[in-house]
Structure 1
Amino acid sequence: MEDFPIEKNQELEVTIVDLTHLGMGIAKIEGYPIFIENALPQEKVRIRVLKVGKKFGFGKVLTLIQESPYRQAVENEDLLRTGVAPLSHLQYKQQLEFKQEQVKNVIVKTAKMPDIQVKDTIGMEQPFGYRNKAQIPVRKIDGVLQTGFYRKNSHELVPLDHFYIQDPAIDAAIVVIREILQQFEVKVYNEKNNSGFLRHIVIRRGYQTHEMMVVLVTRKEHFFQGEKIAQKIQEKLPEVVSIIQNINPKQTNVILGAEEKVLLGRNFIYDQLLGKTFRISAKSFYQVNTQQAEVLYQKAFDLADLKKSDVVVDAYSGIGTIGLSLADQVAHVYGMETIKQAVVDAQENAKLNDINNAEYIAGKAGTIMPQWQKEGIQPNVIFVDPPRKGLDQSFIETTCEMNPEKIVYISCNPATMARDLKVFAESGYFTDSIQPVDLFPQTHHVETVMVLQKH
């Protein structure tokens, strides 16, 4: 039996000394860390121990004895409990400092490159109501169709109407759609036995255009009165130009399935970003914070210091937001993306914006880059904006073999970014500074952008 300085259900008075990278408070008892939700550095709290593990435990705040000077009131504690807005109790200036510290930590500990300067995080003037996309689970609670979000580390739905970080028009639309689905007595998905019908409501809204897409994720294909429901939704919500049924029969926590059907309107919406128009499909990647995406991309272009003669590769190109936004500043853009529909969107977006010097291809970067190399395509600037898992080592090697003057790396995960920087360094590519940009206020996530060059 291991000896811990604390035990489950014990009540303790502790002082919070730091935050974890997920934004939980850290207290230490004889060097043993306890992670506590809704607790900030400098606070004294009375807690109950919820769980004791080998290396750390978890606790719950019972009483706040001494408050942090940086605490702010949260309009709904469920925003913290569900992880929708886990930092909303911390003043925004301190959130930006916290994110800068997260980046500094991984640069020192993971990348072992303490000389890289981590700049101040670029924040938003209005750090709420920014999300242009919502993916909301639907469950039945006491016989009523409810929407909300899961309690952290569980599959228990906490009903929520106002998500604080989402576009308020999306929040309002979810309530309207929920009421229509209830009227039509649509059966709701039951996760435990993979039965029932409606799983999620997904909504996208163009930040500039206000066009709205509604995706109803169902377990089965046959949607009784589906078209009628779609018409009713559009009647109540005139901004809706696209209603799609996405079919996901699998017992999985992946939200969207492979098959989709248009119930009403078209299968995409339009929006504008940096003066260009983009067509966005249900499965396409499009930054959820349009305002800050413009700030992030503009920062990337400034760092790249583009010239009219540049040949640019846009790896992980999505619907072409990066490549097409910079196309008129360079000679040629080559983009690649694994999701076929996103490539179709990128090709359409090039036409839509009268861009003739950009081409997009579907496939994995690790396969296409060597192919381009054989064809003699020689980019001097390569943009990478990978998913959270970061870059494959083979992709980094292939990128470096193409010997570009600059690699512009946009990352949504500081941990994998720091790991990748070490691999780039092995091929002689380094950066002097990293710019964090806050695309996800009130959460622990942070984007970073930097330019790597040969030293």
Structure 2
Amino acid sequence: MAKPKFPVPIEKNNYYEIDITGLGHEGEGVGKVEGFTVFVPRALPGERVKAKITKVQKTYGYGRLIETLVATPDRQEPPCPIYHRCGGCQLQHLSYEAQLRHKRQTVVDALTRIGKLEGVKVHETLGMEEPWLYRNKAQVPLGEIDGRLAVGFYAPRTHEIIEMQGCPIQHPYNDEIVHTTKQILQELGIKHYDEQTHTGLVRHIIGRVGFHTGETMVVLVTNGRKIPKAELLVEKIRERIPHVVSIIQNVNTQQTNVIFGRETVTLWGNDTITDTIGDIKFDISARSFFQVNPVQTEVLYGKTLEYAQLTGTETVIDAYCGIGTISLFLAKKAKDVYGVEVVPEAIEDAKKNAALNGLENAHFEVGGAEVVIPRWHEEGVKVDVIVVDPPRKGCEEELLATIAEMKPERVVYVSCNPSTLARDLRYLEDHGFKTVEVQPVDMFPHTFHVECVSLLVRDRISG
């Protein structure tokens, strides 16, 4: 066996007993062998495990859990029968109370290590009373197992489909959509897509559910425009899924991992389904971004509104506004809200949703937040509150610099990545703001993801 080019205390394929002291950013157990870091998926803090080393790098290694020698009381039996093979969840084997503690600690660690922020109040994570069956959207690839059509999720870091009969974090309607539609495709002899040969037709079945309305949408992503027996397919879906109000085809003929193509056709029914968050209605199209956990979305946006401290006289900017979900919450309480988003279709949806709710004080523009907001600043727009809800990479520095120049009274930062949140809070702290408090919210139970809402105020002393 070839020795590694760098001296390390572990060797690939060897077995080691490891004390697990923490969780990594993807939910894997973290321990050390003679001071050398080893990541062990499915191991938990407080446990001693036996692991087989599968990968060795210069500063860390990976091991496969062979045996739990000493288990933590926080370990539980995952309810999902394919949990250990499916890549969808990472923390079903950890009690929910411990998941919430871990997610708060992830935020604390990021703020102190990356942001060098001391004394910031980080609240306990806001979790769910029932942390199951919460997802309103399922995107499920099709494949073949033992010569028959199969649906499921991909195994971690592969495109191997792990067949599933049901998913404990999905709304039951989504399971019904996926399995009923698969059965109909099989009955009609409609072929699934083969990504190796780029042949076949149906790539994904997507289900969308309006949690509060009960409306459902079936989306078929296809490798071509023509669906054989399309009328019969629609008829059978309508017969067997009685709550469906929309059947959509999305055409994606590219050899790509991206799920959706650019062309979308309504095969039957409405172009959208409707759902509500609080007292605000949203029309949701096949490709619309809409938070997948509507129960916790209301918690997240409620906290955003609380931190914005609106009295009805304020002008607010919502950067990265998407289809206007946060903007419309804010518009109910503010004088004016200006939303900006780089995706044109999202801005069209935002305008429609504002009209749907009779909100005339919400204004939307297409463009990068780091481009449009500086222009608004140059044009003399005065704002009291800026809300940012960026993608995982965080805010562009140009936007942060503009926020510092505009000197709003408050900044509310909604984040899906504690690391980039900490980096951006550090920048704002260095440019005239003070981080008051951070509220973690568990939007995705049983995964390693955590969302946060942070309140920053102008530091009158330094800014």
- Could you tell me whether the CA contact under 8 Å between 2:318 and 2:338 is conserved in 1? yes
Provide the C-alpha distance between the structure 2 equivalents of 1:416 and 1:360, rounded to a whole number of angstroms.
26
- Give 3-state SS (helix, strand or coil) of 2:284's partner: strand
Indicate yes or no: 2:456 matched with 1:452.
yes
Provide the C-alpha distance between the structure 2 equivalents of 1:54 and 1:112, rounded to a whole number of angstroms.
27
Provide the C-alpha distance between the structure 2 equivalents of 1:42 and 1:428, rounded to a whole number of angstroms.
41
- Give 3-state SS (helix, strand or coil) of 1:329's partner: coil
Q: What are the superposed Cα offsets for residues 295-345 of structure 1, whole Å, 9 maximum, x if unpaired?
A: 111111111111111111122111211111232211111112222222222
- Which residue pairs with 2:244 in the alignment? 240
Q: Structure 2 residue aligned with 1:315, among 302, 314, 319?
A: 319
Q: Structure 2 residue aligned with 1:250, among 236, 254, 270?
A: 254
- Give 3-state SS (helix, strand or coil) of 1:81's partner: coil
- Could you tell me whether the CA contact under 8 Å between 1:80 and 1:87 is conserved in 2? no
Indicate yes or no: 2:206 matched with 1:202.
yes
- Which residue pairs with 1:85 in the alignment? 89
- Could you tell me whether the CA contact under 8 Å between 1:205 and 1:213 is conserved in 2? yes
Q: Structure 1 393/227 Cα, relative in aligned 2: closer, same or farther at 3 Å?
A: farther
Q: Structure 1 55/192 Cα, relative in aligned 2: closer, same or farther at 3 Å?
A: farther
- Give 3-state SS (helix, strand or coil) of 1:115's partner: coil
Higher mean C-alpha deviation, range 48-57 or range 212-221: 48-57
Higher mean C-alpha deviation, range 426-435 or range 291-300: 426-435
- Which residue pairs with 1:193 in the alignment? 197
- Which residue pairs with 2:119 in the alignment? 115
Q: Structure 2 residue aligned with 1:224, among 228, 237, 240?
A: 228
Deviation, 1:380, is: 0.9
Q: Structure 2 residue aligned with 1:29, among 23, 27, 33?
A: 33
- Which residue pairs with 1:168 in the alignment? 172
- Could you tell me whether the CA contact under 8 Å between 2:210 and 2:275 is conserved in 1? yes
Provide the C-alpha distance between the structure 1 equivalents of 2:27 and 2:157, rounded to a whole number of angstroms.
15
- Which residue pairs with 1:3 in the alignment? 7
- Which residue pairs with 1:395 in the alignment? 399
Provide the C-alpha distance between the structure 1 equivalents of 2:405 and 2:98, rounded to a whole number of angstroms.
41
Indicate yes or no: 2:62 matched with 1:58.
yes
- Could you tell me whether the CA contact under 8 Å between 2:121 and 2:436 is conserved in 1? yes
Deviation, 1:77, is: 5.2
- Could you tell me whether the CA contact under 8 Å between 1:313 and 1:379 is conserved in 2? yes
- Which residue pairs with 1:140 in the alignment? 144
Matching of residues 30-45 of structure 1 within 5 Å: 30-45=34-49
- Which residue pairs with 1:262 in the alignment? 266
- Give 3-state SS (helix, strand or coil) of 2:195's partner: coil
- Could you tell me whether the CA contact under 8 Å between 2:136 and 2:292 is conserved in 1? yes
Identity across aligned pairs (percent)? 43
- Which residue pairs with 1:182 in the alignment? 186
- Which residue pairs with 1:324 in the alignment? 328
- Which residue pairs with 1:159 in the alignment? 163
- Give 3-state SS (helix, strand or coil) of 1:261's partner: strand
RMSD: 1.5
- Could you tell me whether the CA contact under 8 Å between 1:439 and 1:446 is conserved in 2? yes
Aligned length: 455
Q: Structure 1 residue aligned with 2:425, among 409, 421, 425?
A: 421
- Could you tell me whether the CA contact under 8 Å between 1:313 and 1:333 is conserved in 2? yes
Higher mean C-alpha deviation, range 119-128 or range 49-58: 49-58
Deviation, 1:98, is: 0.3
- Which residue pairs with 1:336 in the alignment? 340
Amino acid in the other structure paired with 1:399 = I
Q: What are the superposed Cα offsets for residues 62-114 of structure 1, whole Å, 9 maximum, x if unpaired?
A: 22222211111112352243231210110111100100110011101111112
Q: Structure 1 residue aligned with 2:293, among 283, 289, 313?
A: 289
- Could you tell me whether the CA contact under 8 Å between 2:411 and 2:457 is conserved in 1? yes
Deviation, 1:267, is: 1.7
Deviation, 1:120, is: 0.7
- Which residue pairs with 1:274 in the alignment? 278
Provide the C-alpha distance between the structure 2 equivalents of 1:231 and 1:49, rounded to a whole number of angstroms.
53
TM-score (norm 1): 0.96
Deviation, 1:446, is: 0.4
Q: What are the superposed Cα offsets for residues 94-137 of structure 1, whole Å, 9 maximum, x if unpaired?
A: 10010011001110111111221211111110011101111111
- Could you tell me whether the CA contact under 8 Å between 2:374 and 2:399 is conserved in 1? no
Deviation, 1:348, is: 1.4
- Could you tell me whether the CA contact under 8 Å between 2:317 and 2:383 is conserved in 1? yes
- Which residue pairs with 2:21 in the alignment? 17
- Which residue pairs with 2:377 in the alignment? 373
Provide the C-alpha distance between the structure 1 equivalents of 2:366 and 2:248, rounded to a whole number of angstroms.
23
Amino acid in the other structure paired with 2:168 = Y
- Give 3-state SS (helix, strand or coil) of 2:297's partner: helix
- Give 3-state SS (helix, strand or coil) of 1:322's partner: helix
Provide the C-alpha distance between the structure 1 equivalents of 2:214 and 2:245, rounded to a whole number of angstroms.
10
Q: Structure 1 residue aligned with 2:134, among 120, 130, 133?
A: 130
- Could you tell me whether the CA contact under 8 Å between 1:33 and 1:57 is conserved in 2? yes
- Which residue pairs with 2:106 in the alignment? 102
Provide the C-alpha distance between the structure 1 equivalents of 2:18 and 2:401, rounded to a whole number of angstroms.
48
- Could you tell me whether the CA contact under 8 Å between 2:80 and 2:168 is conserved in 1? no
Deviation, 1:384, is: 1.0
- Give 3-state SS (helix, strand or coil) of 2:94's partner: coil
